[in-house]
Structures are given as structure tokens and as C-alpha cells.
Amino acid sequence: MTKVTMTVNGKTVSGEVKGNTLLTEFLREDLRLTGTHVGCDTSQCGACVVHVNGEAVKSCTMFAAEADGAEVTTIEGMANADGSLNVIQQAFQDYHGLQCGFCTPGMVMSAAALLKENPKPTEAEVRDHLEGNICRCTGYHNIVRAIMAASGQDVPAVAAE
Amino acid sequence: MYSFDIQRPTTVADAVAALATDEALPLGGGQTLIPTLKQRLSAPSVLVSLSGIAEMKGVCTGDDGALCIGGGTTHATVAREAASSYPALASLAGHIGDPAVRNRGTIGGSVANNDPSACYPAAVLASGATVVTNTRSIAADDYFQGMFATALNEGEIITEVRFPVPEKAAYMKFEQPASRFALVGVFVAKYAEGVRVAVTGASEDGVFRWTEAEAALSSNFSADAVPAAPSGDGMISDLHGSGAYRAHLVAVMTKRAVAAAG
């Protein structure tokens, strides 16, 4: 067992992990932060995306021990300080950017990473950025609309080609 | 996954020492190795994570003008930091996998693994780059030795890859749409001494130089000069495409790369 200490959503946390403990297991099973989802467990679907030191990563494809000393942000850390939904989360609600909701945590974390780097993405850039996030309901169009809205831009009215 | 210990050395020397353990394996960004471990296709006793080694990260220009990329540098960093010095390489790095994968995957990991469909090997071979390890420097022409095979010894770590910067270059890949790996990818690089063309994704022997195209393009650098497609013999044939189809794509992607390079 290895001792790891990291900052998760602003709080310092420690725990004992095995060498093969994935970051996603540490978050969900040890810290009980079950907002980070595990869809495929093969780094395809992106439901497990969290931010490590400000960068979006697939937490099912990183060991907890590798996050020792890191700053981790999960979907639980995305709301505003008063507990209200942040601008991306609110846009997902306003534009019905989810159907079953399973992919939503990863979609929101990927969207946040995109908007930090590129505050006014084009629709094509949004779609390109989401290539590693799979929505099993295939509800991409409203997800893209929500992200465009969250960036303060006009929302495309018609379905994608 | 089988059980293993994980170590996080902070220097190359400590990593080399940790890798001297029996059944130890180096872990780059883990974007290939972790899925492999999950499938129980690999059973190390110790995994030596290279992600904490600061001296293996970063992009800089050497005294000889070559672009030097630390082995532990992520694809996302190369995409950002090589954009002005070697745009074709930066573009290649920026189209590997997806954004989250690019934030973890490293050039050293990709080149050490030498997946027959990976993008980086094409850039390394077409650029005539030098693979620098903790013990030696290996020319790209000597480094790649077939599918998943390289000149690396057990426990040897890629600390840096040095790319001579070409006059013109471009990489074109035909993506396998689900995995984003190259069904066929061609990197064309034009140097004062001649043109080099490296192909990934196509051959059962892994990345290779298409010497016929190199000769033709060295005397006339235009898409029209690209020779007819090579033979489909020895090309990968699977449910995504036959060997003949891949051979056809080699010529098409080479033409597109030459056109894109200008």
C-alpha cells in the first residue's frame, strides 16, 4: 500500500492505495465522490473525466498514486460557492443537454477544460473537443448547444449535418 | 489487473535503479499500458511511473537547431509548444486520440511502444530523428525494428527525442473512426539533403520508409510525382481494410501530405 495525499475539490485528502488502484476508484470508493462515472473502463467513453492540475484526464486511465500531490477537481467541485449550478451546468439544464445523464459529469468536465482554453469555440471546435466523450443516448446536439450557450454565444438552431 | 507496486521516482537515475528490479516496467502516460494491464496482458511486479521526472519534460531548441522533446512530454504540450518551430509535428501530436488522452500520453511512451498504427513513429522516422535514452543515442533508422519492436533494451528509458527541423513537412492520416489510430498515416519531410517519407498503420512490419516515393519527391516535390501505390503484400489486413486498400491509401495520403506541405 502507498500513502497518497492530494487536494480534491479544494480539500486536502489522504488515503492508502494499492499500486493498481485507479484514480477513479480512489475518488468513488474511498472518497465516495460518485459523481465521476465509469462507463467503459477502457478510456474510450470519457464519463470519468476529471481535472488533474487543471487538465482534463480520464481518471479510469491513471493510477491514484500518480495523482499524489496533485490538485484534482471532480464534478462535485464544479458548482458555484453558494451551491447553485455553475454556468456550464446551468446551460446543460436549460438546453436539455442530457437524457439519461450518465455521460454528463464527463461532458461538463471536458466542456470546462475547452472553455478555459478557448472561451469562444466554434460549433465545430466543440464537437471536435468532445471526440473522447461518448453519449450513449446519442444526445450530442443538445450537449453542443449547451456548451455554446455556456460560452455566451448564439446557439445553433438546427441539427448537425 | 494483477497486483503490482508502483513507484514514482523524480530523477532518471532513480527510475533506472527502480527498473533494475525483476519484472519492473516503465509507465509513461499509461494510455496504452493501463488498458493492457486491465486486460491482464502484462504482469509487472513493479510499475515505475516516469510522470514525476521533471528533467524528462519540455520542448526546446538545441544548439544544432534540432527540436528537442523530453520523453515525458505529453502530446498536448507538444501540440502547443512545437506549433511555431515544427508545425507538422505539433499538428500530429494535436490529433492523437482525444483531448484527455493527449493530456496524459507521452512521446516517449508512444515511441517505446511502437504500435504499428501509432502516429509518432512516422514523424520520428520521416524526420530522421534521434532517440536519446539514459545510456545512448539511437538513429531513427536503427531504432524501429518491426511491430512493437525497438532497439531499446530492458529498463532503458527514452529521455528525449531530437528532431531536425525540415524545410517543409506534413502528416496526413486516414483515421480508423472509432479508435482514431491511423488506418494509414504518412509523414513527409523535405530537407536540403532530400525528402523522407514514413508510413504508419499499413505494414505488418510497423512503420517504414517508402523509398520509391522519397526518390521521386527528392527530384520533384509535388503531389503529381508520387509513384503508384506500393504492393499490398505484407500490408496489414483486418476488418477495417484489406492490405490492398491500405497500400492504395499509402499513395493517397502521401499525395495529400505533399500537397499540404506546399
Q: B196-222 pLDDT, tens per residue? A: 999 999 999 999 999 999 999 999 999
A51-76 pLDDT, tens digit per residue, is 999 999 999 999 999 999 999 999 99
Q: Which of A20, A22, A43 sits opposite B4 (nearest CB)?
A: A20
**What's the pLDDT band for B105 if we cut at 50, 70, 90?**
very high
> Is residue A33 situated within a structural domain?
yes
Confidence at residue A160, expressed as pLDDT on a 0 to 100 scale: 54
**One domain for residues A10 and A43:** yes
**One domain for residues A94 and A58:** no
Does any CB of chain A come closer than 8 Å to the CB of residue B176?
A: no
Q: Which residue has the higher pLDDT, A43 or A159?
A: A43
Residues of A in contact with B180 (CB under 8 A): 131
What is the percent of chain B with per-residue pLDDT over 90, rounded to a whole number? Answer: 96
Q: What is the CATH number of the domain that holds A71?
A: 3.10.20.30
B198 DSSP β-pair partners? B187, B209
Q: Which residue has the higher pLDDT, B154 or A157?
A: B154
**Sequence-ordered list of residues with C-beta below 8 angstroms from that of B204, at least 6 positions apart, any chain:** B116, B147, B234, B235, B236
> How far is A157 from chain B, CA to nearest CA, in Å?
26
Strands A71-73 and A49-52: antiparallel
What is the DSSP secondary structure assignment for residue A30, as one 8-state letter?
I
Q: Which of A18, A43, A131 sits opposite B3 (nearest CB)?
A: A18
Confidence at residue B228, expressed as pLDDT on a 0 to 100 scale: 97
In CATH, the number for domain B5-163 is 3.30.465.10
DSSP string covering A83-132, please? S---HHHHHHHHTT--SS-SSHHHHHHHHHHHHHH-SS--HHHHHHHGGG
B8-50 pLDDT, tens digit per residue, is 999 999 999 999 988 999 999 999 999 999 999 999 999 999 9
Does any CB of chain B come closer than 8 Å to the CB of residue A50?
A: no
**One domain for residues A124 and A105:** yes
Q: Which CATH architecture has domain B168-261?
A: 2-Layer Sandwich (3.30)
Confidence at residue B22, expressed as pLDDT on a 0 to 100 scale: 87
Pairwise CB contact (< 8 Å): A65 & B8 = yes
ipTM (interface predicted TM): 0.95
> Is residue A136 situated within a structural domain?
yes
Domain span at A97: 87-150
Last residue of a domain, one of A77, A103, A124: A77
Q: Rounded to whole angstroms, what are the CA distances from A120 to A148, A161, B83, B253?
A: 8, 21, 21, 32
Q: Which of A55, A61, A107 has the highest number of chain B CBs within 10 A, making it the mutation to test binding with B?
A: A61
Q: What is the mean pLDDT of residues B113-137?
A: 97
Does any CB of chain A come closer than 8 Å to the CB of residue B60?
A: no
d(CA A156, CA A123): 8
Q: What is the mean pLDDT of residues B62-81?
A: 96
Q: Which of A41, A46, A63 sits opposite B100 (nearest CB)?
A: A46
User: Is residue A130 a contact partner of residue A140, using CB atoms and an 8 Å limit?
Assistant: yes
> How far is A42 from chain B, CA to nearest CA, in Å?
6
**One domain for residues A96 and A134:** yes
Pairwise CB contact (< 8 Å): A19 & B31 = no
Q: Which of B1, B37, B103 sits opposite A56 (nearest CB)?
A: B103
